[in-house]
């Protein structure tokens, strides 16, 4: 052959064969089906196991199929994407399942009566009763803890960011770090031994609130510190250059600029201590009746109520435990929404 015909066979440079958009979905369904098949043959019962095998098959499958059709680089890209998806699902599934279990078990219990009555005179095996005393206790204890911890935490953070240099600042930072790691039961034991055993006060909501404040303070310091550091130095300088004293610069310029983030941080800390059980168990003691005075006598709180009702173990009390758990989650959720609202409302405005 002297003359070969020239075939217009140049492959395009930029576009290559692509998987259709629905391909990942098909691979996902296929790997799920395969995983169930394998599990049934092997006799594995656990649905968790099915899911994990399906996830693994999905990642391997995406790589294989993509490498075949689109090329290796796209395949790696696809693997990264599917890993992100798998991790997302692994994180979301327990969360959804937790929310679902609580709502489905608790929704039938929570009603106006449940929220407005205490356990006074209700026997363990009786139906009825409510969480009013526990809700009241939680609100009071958390409020007191916040009133103690938020200002101290805020001022500490202001000190660390705006004034602190040298040894003292480093020492404070170190102790805040240590405090962050204090287990809640230790905070409870500390207040127990100091406030109740040594100083001789009795169990009260206030004692619990002090332990909660100890737990809350480092969280407030840390988050406030981060928020204050985000305030550009130029704003401080602009204010100082107008002849505004430093303390006024901090209170009128720096803190207002960061107030949205600070509020969010405080609210997250509040959400964290709202669910604490151990210190409340040690210091507030638990009570079946309404005690509106946090400074005297035993109170209850929502997590403690859940713990105690669940411990009793009758059908009715377990129902009540779920109802209280739902109330607790809803309470924290509402706090978070409020915090977000405040943060958005107070955030520095841009926009023309």
Partner 1 sequence: MAKRIDVSGLTAYYSTFKAIEDISMTVEPRSVTAFIGPSGCGKSTFLRTLNRMHEVTPGGRVEGKVMLDDENLYGSGVDPVTVRREVGMVFQRPNPFPTMSIFDNVAAGLRLNGSYKKSELNDVVEKSLRGANLWDEVKDRLNRPGSGLSGGQQQRLCIARAIAVEPKVLLMDEPCSALDPISTLAIEDLIGELKEHFTIVIVTHNMQQAARVSDRTAFFNLAAVGQPGKLIEIDDTERIFSNPSVQATEDYISGRFG
Q: Which of residues 132-171 bind partner 1 (CB under 8 A)?
A: 165
Contact 272, 216 (CB under 8 A): yes
Contacts 24+ apart (CB under 8 A), 26-33: 27/58, 27/61, 27/62, 27/65, 28/54, 28/58, 30/61, 31/55, 31/57, 31/58, 31/61, 32/58
Q: Applying CB under 8 A, which part among 36-44, 54-62, 234-242, 262-270 lies near partner 1? A: 234-242
Cα–Cα distance between 321 and 279 in angstroms, integer?
19
Residue 232 within binding range of partner 1, rule CB under 8 A? yes
Among 51, 256, 275, 297, binds partner 1 (CB under 8 A): 256
- CB 240 to partner 1: min, Å: 6
Q: Collapsing DSSP states into helix, strand and coil, what is residue 299?
A: strand
Does 10 contact partner 1 by CB under 8 A? no
Tell whether residue 241 is a contact of partner 1 (CB under 8 A).
Answer: yes
The answer to the question of residue 348 lying near partner 1 (CB under 8 A) is yes
Contacts of 41 (CB under 8 A, 6+ apart): none
- CB 226 → partner 1: shortest distance, Å? 18
Contact status: 240 vs partner 1 (CB under 8 A) = yes
Which region among 3-11, 13-21, 78-86, 235-243 touches partner 1 (by CB under 8 A)?
Answer: 235-243
- CA dist 248 and 43 (Å) reads 71
- Give the residue from 197, 199, 219, 218 showing the smallest Cα distance to 282: 197
Q: Assess 235 for contact with partner 1 (CB under 8 A).
A: yes
Helix (H) or strand (E) holding 102: helix 72-106
Instruction: Find the shortest distance in angstroms from Cβ 259 to partner 1.
Output: 8
Of the candidate residues 223, 257, 264, 316, the single one contacting partner 1 (CB under 8 A) = 257
| Distance in Å, CB of 224 to partner 1, minimum | 17
Under 8 Å CB-to-CB from 338, ≥6 apart: which residues? 267
Q: Which is nearer to partner 1, 74 or 173 (CB)?
A: 173
């Amino acid at each position: 052959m002297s003359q070969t015909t020239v075939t217009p066979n140049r492959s395009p440079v930029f576009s290559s064969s692509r998987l259709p958009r629905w391909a990942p979905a098909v691979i996902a369904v296929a790997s799920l089906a395969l995983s169930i098949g394998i599990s049934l043959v092997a006799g594995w019962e656990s649905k968790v196991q099915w899911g994990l095998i399906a996830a693994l098959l999905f990642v391997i499958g995406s790589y294989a199929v993509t490498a075949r059709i689109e090329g290796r680089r796209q395949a790696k890209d696809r693997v990264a994407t599917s890993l992100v998806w798998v991790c997302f699902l692994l994180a979301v599934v327990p969360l959804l399942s937790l929310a679902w279990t609580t709502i489905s078990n608790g929704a039938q219990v929570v009603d106006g009566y449940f929220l407005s009555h205490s356990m006074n005179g209700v026997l363990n095996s009786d139906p009825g009763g409510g969480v009013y005393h526990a809700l009241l206790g939680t609100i009071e204890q958390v409020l007191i803890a916040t009133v103690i911890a938020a200002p101290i935490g805020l001022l500490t953070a202001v000190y660390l960011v705006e004034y602190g240099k040298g040894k003292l600042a480093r020492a404070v930072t170190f102790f805040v770090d240590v405090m962050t790691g204090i287990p809640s039961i230790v905070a409870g034991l500390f207040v127990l031994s100091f406030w109740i055993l040594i100083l001789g006060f009795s169990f009260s909501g206030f004692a619990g609130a002090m332990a909660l404040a100890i737990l809350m303070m480092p969280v407030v310091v840390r988050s406030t510190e981060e928020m204050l550091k985000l305030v550009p130095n130029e704003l401080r300088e602009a204010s100082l250059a107008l002849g505004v004293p430093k303390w006024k610069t901090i209170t009128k310029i720096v803190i207002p600029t960061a107030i949205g983030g600070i509020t969010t941080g405080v609210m997250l800390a509040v959400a964290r201590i709202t669910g604490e059980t151990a210190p409340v168990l040690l210091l507030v003691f638990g009570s079946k009746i309404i005690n509106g005075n946090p400074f005297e006598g035993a109170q209850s709180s929502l997590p403690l109520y859940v713990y105690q009702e669940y411990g009793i173990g009758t059908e009715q009390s377990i129902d009540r435990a779920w109802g209280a758990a739902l109330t607790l989650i809803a309470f924290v959720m509402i706090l978070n929404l409020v915090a977000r609202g405040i943060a958005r409302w107070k955030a520095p405005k841009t926009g023309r």
